[in-house]
Structure 1
């Protein structure tokens, strides 16, 4: 059976305003000591590959992103006083209101973009580069050669 490659993607706008947090002080404070849960807003910690929920009073969802903003790990409903250890591939973490991952069916492998209004655009699937397509063609040719060689043996 020939390999199938999904080069299409769907975009989903998530009405959550993202606040970028890329200074030491901002990342240090994060959401600590905040009394009210997140509602239609999120905090994007850059760089960040692990989080703690110390001094938090509400659960959140967290997306860990690589440098290309691909989701490499999702953490749903992490509770106060818990930790999420180091995520090796992660470059940043996006802290979101509890239930966001489930509500929008966000999955590892999806991409996150933040638009000009600081809202989230979720891209599902992946786009193919010319190099990806060339590599697939070479792999298919190799598979076909191996298959023909096995038939003649």
Structure 2
């Protein structure tokens, strides 16, 4: 599965908005805030909040037009179409 690295302001701003379907993983980095929204999205997503040790500490499944704020500040946020990944809270991820 292809990972799209959203490491710029513009990539983070657009994210998955307006897409009809998405068969990749979107990885956000260099975050200032751990809140997300699903405004203008057309499908449900799973969102994984990851700390500096690349450990998943929070997960949310969101329908379009919702907001969510993680329990603490994340270093990375991973988004994908709902049900695609089987990641659990406490899992460690390996990515560059």
The correspondence for 2:60, drawn from 49, 68, 75, is 75
TM-score, length basis structure 2: 0.87
- 1:45 matched to which residue of 2? 28
- 1:109 matched to which residue of 2? 90
After superposing on structure 2, the runs of 4+ consecutive aligned residues of structure 1 that deviate more than 4 Å are none
Q: Give deviations 1:79-104, integer Å, cap 9, x for gaps.
A: 00001124414111100121134xx2
Between the aligned partners of 1:110 and 1:24, the Cα distance in structure 2 is 27
Please report the RMSD computed on the Cα atoms of aligned residues, expressed in angstroms: 1.6
**Structure 1 residues without counterparts, runs of 5 or longer:** 1-15, 116-153
Distance 1:86 1:74, change over 3 A: closer
Q: CA deviation at 1:74?
A: 1.1
Between the aligned partners of 2:71 and 2:7, the Cα distance in structure 1 is 18
Which structure has greater helix proportion? 1
Q: Give deviations 1:103-131, integer Å, cap 9, x for gaps.
A: x2x2111111127xxxxxxxxxxxxxxxx
Between the aligned partners of 1:87 and 1:22, the Cα distance in structure 2 is 22
Between the aligned partners of 1:88 and 1:69, the Cα distance in structure 2 is 14
The correspondence for 1:96, drawn from 62, 69, 80, is 80
**Structure 2 residues without counterparts, runs of 5 or longer:** none
Q: Which structure is larger by alpha-carbon Rg, 1 or 2?
A: 1
